[in-house]
Each structure stands twice: as structure tokens, then as C-alpha cells.
Amino acid sequence: MTTIKRTVLVIGAGISGLAAARHLRLNGYEVNILEARNRIGGRIWTENLATHSSDLGAAWIHFANKKHPIYQLAQQLGLVTKLSPFSRYKVVDEKGKRINAKKFYAVLQQLYLCKEREMIERYLAPLSQDISLQKGITSILEKLSKENTDFEQLKTQLAHTKDWELFNLLYESYYATELDKISLQSVLDDNSELVGKDYWLVNGYQAIVNHLAENTQIILGEEVQSITQNSVVTVQTNKSSYTADFVICTLPLGVLQKEKVQFTPSLPPAKKQAIQNLQQGVLDKIVIVFKEKKWQSNYEVIVNVPITTDLFKISFWHNHSHLDATSNTLTAYVAGAEALKMENLHDDLILHHALEQLQKALPFLQKDDILTYKITRWGQDPHSYGSYLYLPVGVNYQSILDLAAPFGRIFFAGEATILHDYSYVHGAYWSGMRAAKEVMATPN
């Protein structure tokens, strides 16, 4: 007796879609991926820029340990990873004067302690009403300053320096938005089981993406316009129409918010509300490859104090040569409102301003030293409209669960649909695996 394979359409060839498709294919399903872009990877985007590969989207493996799915894949594939502790800084003020990096890092560590879950539980929990992460850090610092002379000194120092602004800029690049927008309750509720160190993929994420895509049918340039379900699911794209038993939708939150895809029947009210409640931050990069490396490799991060007249504020520069001695690349990270501001500027102006800021720390670098560069605009990207999820003040984990919930024959995956590990590549991967298993558990 011939067994008819059940069919699945996966919308999106990012890490979640690739993970889902691979798992289903290995379990006997007939799977096709529809991808709007002309490449695979989604918000993982490795570009060959002259001498080296650079990740224009996701770049780090966060919280790596033996149970970490992405770190495991990197090890299996023999990829070069380097421990990235973010502990070596070069810091300069508005005029380019060197600031003591060890003292600055000590300040960062003290402020970082104020945002730790344990400190929130100790000093602020339970929250009678959700507040922003920024207010939470300020409140904890106030309480600590009354108990500990070190934190009393820190509070005084923050009032007379730009360290607080620099801390905000650095952590805006982590959350892809401003700290006054982030729910403190979401930080308190975060109990991810992953504990580990951060690693940098020296040659980028592409090898992992390619591995997951092996032997999977992927159709590029297919922008989904509508998804209609009854006894089967029909997906209409800008080019063709496809039918399958099930669909796994990995469209980014930003795309769902734009309502570019029509669902028939309409999405349930709870899912619509979740799409409206949740927010996606923006983290952009200005990747500059120089003809030769003229700077030192003994620091990983370059930070310069911004001024009010800056066209946009740069969170930090990442010195690739600290982890890869052969690299001539420096990457500026621009987050949140500053990234959206930057995205509206012309490339020439962005590059000019970025180099002007970099010269405060490395005055010997000139425009003629640049070999090539690349600027991202994730906020304007029609296939993402942002970088990754954050929970705004007043929004809790229920919205993530509502977004992730299956709807008939349509299942949902992507970094915005996973509890505790949202915004991370490993979270996106796990969401794809979860959606694949949900399909497998569903009768035809």
C-alpha cells in the first residue's frame, strides 16, 4: 500500500523556517520553502566584503554551552568560533581624549548588576505595576547607593559624567531599542535555561544556514500575499499559487504588523492583539573594511562619547581584529531611534559621520583608507521591518504565546514566538523545531 506524503509549505527561509523544514523532511514530509528574498537566511545575512565575510544581521552565538543547538551545529561543522567577552574597551570623550577603560568597564559592570533578574527580585519584586527597565535600574541603583558606598560613589559619578548615556547606548544595541521602552516585568519573567558564554563566528553564520538548507526545496523571490485555509491551505504569492496540507508561517513580527499578508479566515482576535502588542527593535550596522589594519587588536570594543549635534549616535564599534587577527574590519552598531534616524540618510552622509566619530578614537584613519563598506537598514527592509523582538512596558509573555499558537492548519515560528529565548538565533531555531513537531502531532 502506497503512503501519501503529507505536504507542508514553510513561509520564510530564515533559521526557524530552515530548522522546521529540515526536521519535517527528515521525518518523511514533503516540504517546500517560499522565500521573498533572493537569498536564504532571513535576518541572518553573511556578506563577503573584499577580504572577509561579515554578518550584517545576527553575528554572535549567545549563552553557548553543550546543550546550545547553534553552538552544537558550529562544532559539528568545524566552524571557527572565538570567545567574545566584551571586556576590553577603548573609550574616548567628545574631543577624542582617552578615558580610563578599566574604570569605565567597572562602571558598566556595576550598572549591569542593577539590571540582573536577581537584583530585580531582591529590590523591586513583586511589581504592582510594570515599569521600564530604565526606571528599574535607576530604582535599584538608588536602593544600592543607600546600602553600599561603592554604589553611592557610582551614583555621584553618573551625575557628573556621560557614563550613564554610554551605558544606555551600549544596552540599546543589545535590546535594539531604548531602555525606557522595555518591560521590566519581561526581564523578571525571563528564566531561560541556557547559561553560557558568547562566541563570535569568525567566518559568519552562512555555513550554518547552508547546512540546514541542504536537500530542501527552496523557492526564492516568492512574496506571500495571502494564506487561505479550509481542507487544505492555499498560499498565493506575487508569482504563483501553492497548496499544502499545512503551512508554517515564519514571517517576522514587523511584516505581520504591516498586514501585508491576508489570512482567510481572519486571524483570531488574541493573535491580532498579540501582533499589535509586541514590538520589534532595530539594530543596524555600518561595516567598514579598510585596506590595512592600522589600529591595535588588544581591545574588542570602541566607545566614544556622543554630542547633541550628532546626526545619529553610534552605540559602539566592534573591532573584528580582536577575535580575528587577519581582519581589517570595524563595525559600528546603531540602535533603536538612532538607527531609524540613520536609515533616512544617504550612504555618503552616513559613512562620513561614522568615520568622523571613529577618528576621535583612531585619528590616523582617513577616507582613502577604506576599501569597501556596507550599511544595513533593517527598519526599512520590506521583508522584516526591524531586527528582533522586545516586550514593551505593560506587555507580558502571554502575547508571545498567543502569537505562537497554531491556527487551524497554520503554525507559527520565528524568534518572536518563543518564550525566554526570543530575539536570539537559538530561540528562532527552537521555535522552528516546535512548529515542526506541532505539525507532526496534527492529524491530517
Structural domain boundaries in the chain: 7-43+204-278+393-440, 46-86+281-375, 101-192
Secondary element (H or E) of residue 429: helix 425-440
* Measured CA distances, 290 to 91, 284, 301 (Å): 21, 19, 17
CA nearest neighbour of 199 among 425, 435, 394, 439? 425
Strands 241-244 and 246-249: unpaired
**Cβ within 8 Å of residue 239, ≥6 positions away:** 221, 222
Torsion of CA 85, 73, 427, 55, to 10 degrees: 60
CATH topology of domain 46-86+281-375: Polyamine Oxidase; Chain A, domain 2 (3.90.660)
CA 166/CA 315 separation, integer angstroms: 8
CA nearest neighbour of 284 among 169, 173, 426? 173
Compute and round to an integer the Cα radius of gyration of the chain: 23
CA nearest neighbour of 383 among 202, 220, 227, 206? 220
DSSP state of 5: P
CB atoms within 10 A of CB 28: 10
Q: Walk along the chain (444 residues) and give the pLDDT tens digit of each residue.
A: 456 789 999 999 999 999 999 999 999 999 999 999 999 999 999 999 987 899 999 999 999 998 999 999 999 999 999 999 999 999 999 999 999 999 899 999 999 999 998 999 999 999 999 999 999 999 999 999 999 888 888 888 887 778 888 999 999 999 999 999 999 999 999 888 788 999 999 999 999 999 999 999 999 999 999 999 999 999 999 999 999 999 999 999 999 999 999 999 999 999 999 999 999 999 999 999 999 999 999 999 999 999 989 999 999 999 999 999 999 999 999 999 999 999 999 999 999 999 999 999 999 999 999 999 999 999 999 999 999 999 999 999 999 999 999 999 999 999 999 998 999 999 999 999 999 999 999 987
pLDDT at residue number 420: 86
CATH topology of domain 7-43+204-278+393-440: FAD/NAD(P)-binding domain (3.50.50)
Q: Which residues pair with 182 in a beta bridge?
A: 392
Q: Which residues pair with 130 in a beta bridge?
A: none
CA 206/CA 211 separation, integer angstroms: 8
Handedness of CA 255, 257, 262, 266 (dihedral sign): positive
DSSP sequence for 355-380: HHHHHHH-TT--GGGEEEEEE--TTT
Task: Give the global pTM.
Answer: 0.96
